[in-house]
Copies of this chain bind each other. A is one copy, B any other.
Amino acid sequence: MTNAHRPILVTGFEPFDGEAINPSWELARALDGETIAGHRIVAVQLPCVFGASLTVLHGAIARHDPAVVLAVGQAGERSQLSLERVAINIDDARIPDNAGAQPLDVAIIPGAPSAYFSSLPIKPMLAALRQAGIPAEISQTAGTYVCNHVFYGLMHALDQRPGIRGGFLHIPYLPEQAVLHPGAPSLSLSVAIEGVRVALRAALA
C-alpha cells in the first residue's frame, strides 16, 4: 500500500480516575473517518489498563498499517495541548488502573531501552499549532502512568517498523470536566480537535 493510502491511527482512552468521560476518546472518535492530507483517520479506544492497552494498540497497528500513530491522553492539570517528547521505560502508578493494577517502579519492557523519543516532528507541529492560534507546548514527561506506558509501548513497536511514525499528545480536561475541579484549567473539545488536525497536517507535510 502506498503511503498516501495508509490511514492515521488516533487512539484515545476510556475514562479513569472517577471521570465520566475522557477527552482523548471524545477527540479521537470525533475525528474518526476524517481525511488529513489524504490519510483517513481511524480512531481506536484503549482501555486505561497497563498491558491490555498495548495489546489493543498493537492489534490496531497490525490491522490498519497506519502511516502515523497519534496516541492521545488526558492531563487534567495542564492548560494547553502537550506534545510529548519522550517516553520512558517505567511504570509507576499513583493510582490503580481500571483493572486494579498499580505497578510501582517496574520496567515496561525489561531490557529494552530506557526511553524513546517521539518520531513525530514536534517542533514543526508546535509552530503550526501556535500559528493557528491554538495554545500548545512541548512536554518533557508523559508521566509514569498508562499514558507513558502506551507511548513507550508504541515507540518500542515502531522501532521495528521504521515506516510508521508515532507520538503522544496530552490534552487538558474539557470545560465540563473542570466544573468538578474548582480552579482547574480546561480546553474545549473543538479547539483540541482543530489542534489535532493542524498538528497532523504539520506532521504529514
A contact set with B: CB distance below 8 Å? 79-80, 85-86, 88, 90, 92, 105, 113-117, 123, 129-130, 133-138, 140-141, 143-144, 175-176, 178-179, 181-188, 190-191
- Tell me which residues across on chain B come within 8 A of A134, comparing CB atoms: 175-176, 179
Q: How far is the CB of A92 from chain B (nearest CB, A)?
A: 8
- Determine if B185 and A188 form an interchain contact, defined as CB atoms under 8 angstroms apart: no
The prevalent SS among residues of A at the interface is: loop
Question: How many copies of this chain?
Answer: 4
Q: List 27 A-B contacts (CB under 8 A).
A: A79-B183, A79-B185, A80-B178, A80-B182, A80-B183, A85-B90, A86-B88, A86-B114, A86-B115, A90-B117, A105-B123, A113-B113, A114-B115, A130-B179, A134-B175, A134-B176, A134-B179, A135-B184, A135-B186, A137-B182, A137-B183, A140-B140, A140-B143, A175-B188, A186-B187, A187-B188, A190-B190
- Determine if B115 and A79 form an interchain contact, defined as CB atoms under 8 angstroms apart: no
- Tell me which residues across on chain B come within 8 A of A116, comparing CB atoms: 114
Bound together, the chains give a CA A90 to CA B123 distance in angstroms of 14
- Tell me which residues across on chain B come within 8 A of A105, comparing CB atoms: 123
Seed contacts A79-B183, A90-B117, A188-B188; 5 additional CB < 8 Å A-B pairs: A85-B144, A114-B117, A140-B141, A186-B187, A188-B191
Bound together, the chains give a CA A116 to CA B113 distance in angstroms of 9
- Determine if B90 and A178 form an interchain contact, defined as CB atoms under 8 angstroms apart: no
- Determine if A186 and B79 form an interchain contact, defined as CB atoms under 8 angstroms apart: yes
Bound together, the chains give a CA A175 to CA B136 distance in angstroms of 10
Closest B residue by C-beta to A189: B188
Q: How far is the CB of A139 from chain B (nearest CB, A)?
A: 8
Closest B residue by C-beta to A82: B183
Q: Give the contacting residue for A113; candidates B114, B137, B188; CB below 8 A.
A: B114
